[in-house]
Each structure stands twice: as C-alpha cells, then as structure tokens.
Amino acid sequence: MKPRLDHSQAPGAFAADIEAFLGFIGLERGLSRNTIDGYRRDLDQCALFLAKRGVADWRSVSPDDASAWVHALSTDAYRESSLARKLTALRGLARFLVREKLRPTDFTALLDGPKLRRKIPHTLSDDEVDRLLAAPNGGDPRSLRDRALLELFYSSGLRVSELAALTLQQIDLEHGFLRVFGKGSKERVVPIGGKAIDAVTTYVASGRPHLVKARTGSQLFLNNRGGALSRVALWMIVKKHAQRAGITKSVKPHALRHSFATHLLSNGADLRAIQEMLGHASISTTQIYTAVESQRLLDHHAKFHPRNRSS
C-alpha cells in the first residue's frame, strides 16, 4: 500500500505550484484523498525528470520538455491507464498555471496521450433482475431489508457508497423520490418506482425496528448490530442473493446501477435524464450505456436474422 503524502516531494520551486494546484482541485472538484495523493506522486515524478533536464520550475517548462517526459514514460512499460492518469495530472497543472496567470501558455496543448478503450459495463438481463429481486422472499427483518435494498438499488441506480450511506431523511416515500449527495457533495434528486416504494415502506415499518439498537442513527439500511451497512456488507448481500437466484455469472453491486441505466435507455429514456439520475458530471460518461444497447441489438440481429444462420 502506497503511503499517503502530506506535501510534495518535488525538487526546488516545483513543489509550491503542485500544492497550489492540488489544493485548488481538492476544493473545486471534491476529489478524494487517494486521488489527490496519486496526482501528487505523478507530478513529483514529472518534476524530478524535468529538474534532471535542467528545467528550474513549472513556469519555464517547454512543450518539448513535456513531450520528453511522456516519451520516457512510454518506454517504461506503464499500463495505458497509468499513462493516461499521469498525463491528466500534468494537463490539469498546466491549465491551472495558465488560469492563475503564472505562465502564458499551456505546455501540454500538443501532447498526445494513450487512447483508452472504455470497458462495456456488465449488466443483468430483465429476467436476471427479476430473479435477483425475488430472491429475499422471507418475512424476517433481514429478508425485508435485503428486498428493500435490492429494489431501491435497481430503481434508483445509486452508487454503492450512496446506497450504503442513505438515511431516512433522504427518502420521500410519499412522493416517490430521494435526495442523495454524490461525488463532490453534489446533491441530486432521483425518482424511485412503485415496487421499491412498497418494499422500503414494508421494511421501515416491519423490518428496520427489529434491527434498531440503543446507538442506532438515522441510516436506512442497518446491520445486525444496528449500525449502517458497509459497502462490503452490501456487496455480500448482492452476491448471496445472486447465487440464490441461480445467476451463474459474477454479479457485483455496480451491475444493478449499470442495469438501471441500460434498461432505461433500451426502453426509450433520454440520455440526458439518465445522466442526471446517475449523477454523472459529463454526458460522455453516460454514453457508455449506448455501447451496451448497441451490443444488445447486434446480438439479437446475429441470433435471429435469417441471413446470419449457417446453412
């Protein structure tokens, strides 16, 4: 495990600009501590390389200097994802320096980075979703909790961390929506369907009270000790019921979020509306689900079109 860094280890005048940039994006974009530390390591690495080339600070970096670093990285057997992250950090710093009028031009403007192919998300079919949601069929508190959790997960498309942290105050069962704070502490309103409302209503009335302990807070989904379900516990619940439903492929919690988006799209939902419900900052992130839908159509064509069948 890489140690957390409290400040830049870059040589000379490089460090101050790195810390100013990281402080800016930490406040502006709400990035996690791990992401900030990763950017710091990448920029420290670049600064050390530049210093060895005789560059004094970021303000005197030339496009050729930046290209030389990228070329050196490409010969060091880094994965494409690692190269892309390092280049993202450097580009962000360069644009920050221009924005703050600390240099006149962006020295990364002409850099070419690796073209990453985004993986198509793993989703469940309609039948698999139905079987998964029907798996916790008991009347005990944990079964009521698990049924409500799975129904709400699929109905809302929340991130795992968002679902685990959900409180009673965030969900409005009467009007059929919930408020959630996503990445960067951005609030969004997400509608929830009738079956999820019914399952959560039953759990809150007949299941959750049996899980409440003396020090229980306002978290919606509770464990046996009365505390909030962790993301790991939530993953185990999804895995357990997927196995119970006879789903043989690996089912990770995010598969329900991906299925939520893909099924909405295949049934005619607007991509912008899906983006808003998922809490994506950019529509380009949501567009990955169009690839899932395109692949589904190709599979159907290959399976059912008569000219695709061998004689």
Q: Which residues of 55-84 are buried (b: 16+ CB within 10 A; e: fewer)?
A: bebbeebeeebbeebbeebeeeeeeeeebe
Q: Residue 98: what residue type?
A: V
pLDDT for res 292: 60
pLDDT digits (tens, 9 = 90+) for 89-112: 999 999 999 999 999 999 998 887
Is 159 considered catalytic here? yes
* Answer CATH for 126-303 from 1.10.443.10, 1.25.40.20, 1.20.1050.10, 3.40.120.10: 1.10.443.10
CB 260 within 8 A of CB 156: yes
Rg (CA), the chain: 24
Strand ordering across the sheet containing 171-172 = 171-172, 177-181, 187-191
Is 257 considered catalytic here? yes
Report residue 311's pLDDT band, with 50, 70 and 90 as the boundaries.
very low
**CB-side exposure of 291: number of CA atoms within 13 Å?**
12
pLDDT for res 161: 87
Structure tokens at 31: 């990035």
pLDDT digits (tens, 9 = 90+) for 16-73: 999 999 988 887 766 778 888 899 999 999 999 999 999 999 999 999 999 999 888 8
Residue 2 has pLDDT above 60, yes or no: no
Strand partners, 222: 228
Residue 1 has pLDDT above 60, yes or no: no
Is 122 considered catalytic here? no
Could you say which of 39, 154, 203, 289 is catalytic? 289
Which has more confidence, 246 or 72? 246
Which has more confidence, 305 or 268? 268
pLDDT for res 144: 98
Percent of the chain with pLDDT over 70: 87
pLDDT for res 116: 46
Report residue 297's pLDDT band, with 50, 70 and 90 as the boundaries.
low
Residue where the block lists tokens 């940039």: 21
Structure tokens at 23: 């402080």
Q: Where are the domains of the chain?
A: 14-99, 126-303
Could you say which of 159, 208, 241, 258 is catalytic? 159
Could you say which of 95, 252, 254, 296 is catalytic? 254
Residue 143 has pLDDT above 80, yes or no: yes
- Count CB-CB contacts under 10 A for residue 273: 13
Could you say which of 183, 239, 252, 296 is catalytic? 183
Residue 301 has pLDDT above 70, yes or no: no
Report residue 118's pLDDT band, with 50, 70 and 90 as the boundaries.
low
Is 7 considered catalytic here? no
pLDDT for res 308: 64
pLDDT for res 293: 60
Architecture of domain 14-99: Orthogonal Bundle (1.10)
Report residue 199's pLDDT band, with 50, 70 and 90 as the boundaries.
very high
Range 125-138 average pLDDT: 95
**Residue 97 to residues 20, 42, 226: CA-CA distances in angstroms?**
10, 17, 49
Distance CA 23, CA 14 (A): 15
Report residue 288's pLDDT band, with 50, 70 and 90 as the boundaries.
confident
14-99 and 126-303 share one fold: no
Is 99 considered catalytic here? no
Report residue 280's pLDDT band, with 50, 70 and 90 as the boundaries.
confident
Please state the separation of Cα 176 from the chain's center in Å: 24
Q: What is the mean pLDDT of the chain?
A: 86
pLDDT for res 84: 83
Percent of the chain with pLDDT over 90: 55
CB 256 within 8 A of CB 124: yes
